[in-house]
């Protein structure tokens, strides 16, 4: 019997950026494989470019001009002396033409064949391959509702819209096509029935060139907001052995149908004990670490071994325990989850938690790409222990910078519907407001004020006067409300009503409340003050009137490009509170900008295609008298 041909990989270019590239580079460095990064101008100093052994610039900033240019990436690989290309798990990872170009250049492609990608990359063709077919958008009726409009290429929730009224279908199709074109360079969309209250379950597969296919358990990714996965876990809880076996069989069937090689994911909706095929992603997924934790595997290392020609053992290693992953995003729930930009001053997590990220302390979160900061992964013997470990780690994590979805993640993990494994894809439709309505720490402003006084070297801090003086006053914004702090200096140090100040310096304040001493870690960056997990904004004693905006001003929540305006939108048009007025594209997504009040549009300052800075006045609405 002839031994299989083994081709050793010595240098890998990763055709992606951020956390994805950093994740692949980590394994390559452990294996002694040289790494090559590509970067846009916006990513010139990004972490993935800093940690790679060599870098190649892709001039420009937009994905379509840089990370989606397969021709430039192949040239970069050849110029840098790479002998293989890893597509990451985004951008070009499911582009068959890119895979062909890599192979035609004489490079090793770390992924499935172009033919397999082509068969499964389009969700419409994948469904046909599995004996399914999407609906005809011109023939759907009321009986077909609700509907899901979905991009044929790509993923990550982009290019997806739920339609509950036929009158909304045309708008949903237009919006989904625009977003898909921007995110994936492919505006093809299709329509399928929307399965209400199902669970999103997927099977990780790994296949070699010798005919072995591993189905690596199951994952549950039901906690999704705007069709973007938020929390994932392995194995999927509360599935019967019979249903799990059926999912494995269907996943293997999909892989064999296209002679699949490498790592891939087959996705399903599970409802009423039945599995409904969604799609096959011919790549690793963002949530692959939970499978790695449960099976004790490095899937990127296995991808390289398969690409070199090595055979997998007949059976995968046994599964052990439970793993849960949470995606930490820079986004503000108080601003309709608008992505946030700025400096990430500090990001640390407790020991024992895996942190996958594309950022280091001091890095800038820009406007051009996905706002995901990191993934936190916990592994434990049981699901309950994994939930507790991850929720506790998020609670204790240090996150100094833009507003994040930390509270949503913690509250989701501790929600009874999740802890008892009764969640489905409608989880956030039912619970989002309650999960994002947190109670800020009422003592955080006082702790911030005392730390600030110590940091400023107040000569009276820790001293006292025989003559009673006026209390010191500081103002902070917290959770959308203004808080005014009063305290006095006495012979025993600073004093305030109802709370004893045990200790106060620039970084740590200890307060005793009702006989219990509590510690408050303090960090200040500009006017932002982080007190444990609470973030405040320091306000000036006397507000500057020149910074006040006129009532009814509609401001850009972030830098971006105006994609389109609402139909027939001109000054003098009556508008309703919450009515969409225009759409802004930033961070690879469209963001709907709505009217702040019911009244009349009195001014419109932007046009489609116009780029705007954060805080720019987009329009003016004169509120209707009540």
Of the candidates 565, 576, 578, 575, the one whose C-alpha atom is nearest the C-alpha of residue 602 is 575
| Separation of alpha carbons 166 and 171, rounded Å | 10
Give the pair of three-digit tokens for residue 77. Answer: 């690989």
Contact of 137 with 173, CB cutoff 8 Å = yes
Report the relative pairing of strands 500-504 and 508-513 from DSSP bridges: antiparallel
CA–CA dist 446, 442 (Å, integer): 8
What tokens were used for 482?
A: 């203004």
340, 403 in Cβ contact below 8 A?
yes
Active site residue 383: no
Q: How many separate helices (H) and strands (E) can be counted in the chain?
A: 15, 38
Q: Containing H/E element for 121?
A: helix 114-121
Take residue 410 and report the two structure tokens written for it.
């913690």
3-class secondary structure, 108: strand
Cβ neighbours for 250, distance < 8 A, ≥ 6 positions apart: 203, 266, 268, 275, 277
Contact 148, 194 (CB under 8 A): yes
Distance CA 437, CA 396 (A): 19
What backbone phi and psi angles, to 5 degrees, belong to 488? -125, 155
Q: Of 158, 283, 383, 528, which is the active-site residue?
A: 283
Q: How far, in Å, are 129, 188, 193, 243, 323 from residue 249 at the CA level?
A: 15, 30, 24, 10, 23
| DSSP state letter for 503 | E
CB burial readout 397-427, b (16+ within 10 A) else e: bbbbbbbbbbbbbbbbbebeebeeeebbbeb
Cβ atoms of residues 180 and 187 within 8 Å: yes
SS (H, E, C) 196-258: CCCEEEEEEEEECCCCCEEEEEEEEEEEEECCEEEEEEECCCCCCHHHHHHHHHHHHHHHHHC
**Residue 217 corresponds to which tokens in the numbers above?**
């358990």
List active site positions: 283
């Amino acid at each position: 019997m002839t031994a299989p041909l083994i081709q050793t990989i010595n240098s890998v270019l990763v055709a992606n950026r951020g956390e994805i590239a950093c994740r692949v580079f980590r394994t390559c460095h452990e294996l002694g494989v040289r790494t090559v990064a590509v970067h846009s101008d916006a990513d010139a100093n990004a972490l993935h470019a800093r940690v790679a052994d060599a870098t190649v610039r892709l001039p420009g900033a937009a994905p379509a001009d840089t990370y989606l240019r397969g021709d430039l990436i192949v040239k970069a690989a050849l110029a840098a002396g790479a002998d293989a290309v890893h597509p990451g798990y985004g951008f070009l990872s499911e582009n068959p033409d890119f895979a062909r170009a890599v192979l035609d250049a004489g490079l090793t492609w770390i992924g499935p064949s172009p033919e397999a990608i082509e068969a499964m990359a389009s969700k419409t063709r994948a469904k046909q391959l599995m004996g399914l077919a999407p609906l005809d958008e011109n023939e759907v009726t009321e009986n077909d509702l609700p509907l899901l409009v979905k991009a044929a290429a790509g993923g990550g929730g982009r290019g997806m819209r739920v339609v509950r009224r036929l009158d909304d279908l045309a708008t949903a199709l237009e919006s989904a096509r625009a977003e898909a074109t921007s995110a994936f360079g492919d505006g093809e969309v299709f329509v399928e029935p929307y399965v209400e209250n199902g669970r999103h379950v997927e099977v990780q597969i790994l296949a070699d060139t010798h005919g072995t296919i591993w189905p690596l358990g199951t994952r549950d990714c039901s906690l999704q907001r705007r069709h973007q996965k938020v929390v994932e876990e392995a194995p999927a809880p509360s599935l019967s052995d019979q249903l799990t076996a059926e999912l494995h069989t269907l996943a293997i069937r999909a892989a064999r149908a296209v002679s699949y090689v490498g790592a891939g994911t087959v996705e399903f909706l599970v409802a009423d004990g039945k599995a409904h095929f969604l799609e096959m992603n011919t790549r690793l997924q963002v949530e692959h670490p939970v499978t790695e934790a449960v099976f004790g595997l490095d899937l990127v290392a296995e991808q390289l071994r398969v690409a070199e020609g090595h055979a997998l053992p007949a059976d995968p290693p046994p599964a052990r325990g439970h793993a849960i992953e949470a995606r930490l995003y820079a986004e503000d729930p108080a601003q309709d989850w608008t992505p946030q930009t700025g400096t990430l001053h500090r990001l640390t997590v407790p020991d024992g938690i895996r942190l996958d990220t594309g950022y280091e302390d001091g890095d800038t979160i820009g406007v051009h790409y996905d706002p995901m900061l990191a993934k936190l992964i916990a592994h434990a013997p049981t699901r309950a222990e994994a939930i507790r470990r991850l929720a506790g780690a998020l609670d204790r994590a240090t996150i100094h910078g833009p507003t994040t979805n930390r509270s949503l993640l913690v509250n989701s993990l501790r929600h009874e519907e999740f802890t008892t494994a009764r969640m489905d894809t409608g989880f956030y439709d039912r619970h989002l407001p309650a999960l994002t309505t947190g109670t800020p720490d009422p003592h955080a402003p006082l702790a911030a004020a005392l730390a600030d006084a110590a940091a400023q070297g107040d000569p009276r801090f820790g001293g006292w006067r025989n003559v009673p003086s006026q209390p010191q006053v500081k103002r902070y914004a917290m959770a959308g409300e203004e808080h005014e702090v009063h305290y006095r200096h006495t012979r025993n140090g600073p004093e305030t009503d109802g709370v004893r100040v045990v200790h106060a310096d620039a970084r740590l304040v200890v307060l005793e409340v009702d006989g219990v001493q509590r510690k408050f870690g303090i960090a200040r960056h500009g006017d932002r003050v982080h007190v444990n997990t609470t973030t405040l904004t320091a306000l000036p004693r006397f507000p500057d009137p020149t910074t006040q905006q006129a009532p009814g001003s509609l401001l850009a929540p972030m830098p971006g490009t105006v994609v389109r305006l609402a139909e027939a939108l001109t000054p003098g048009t009556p508008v309703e509170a919450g009515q969409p007025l225009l759409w802004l594209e930033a961070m690879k997504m469209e963001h709907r900008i709505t009217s702040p009040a019911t009244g009349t549009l009195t001014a419109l300052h932007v046009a489609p295609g116009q780029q705007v800075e954060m805080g720019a006045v987009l329009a003016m609405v004169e509120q209707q008298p009540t």
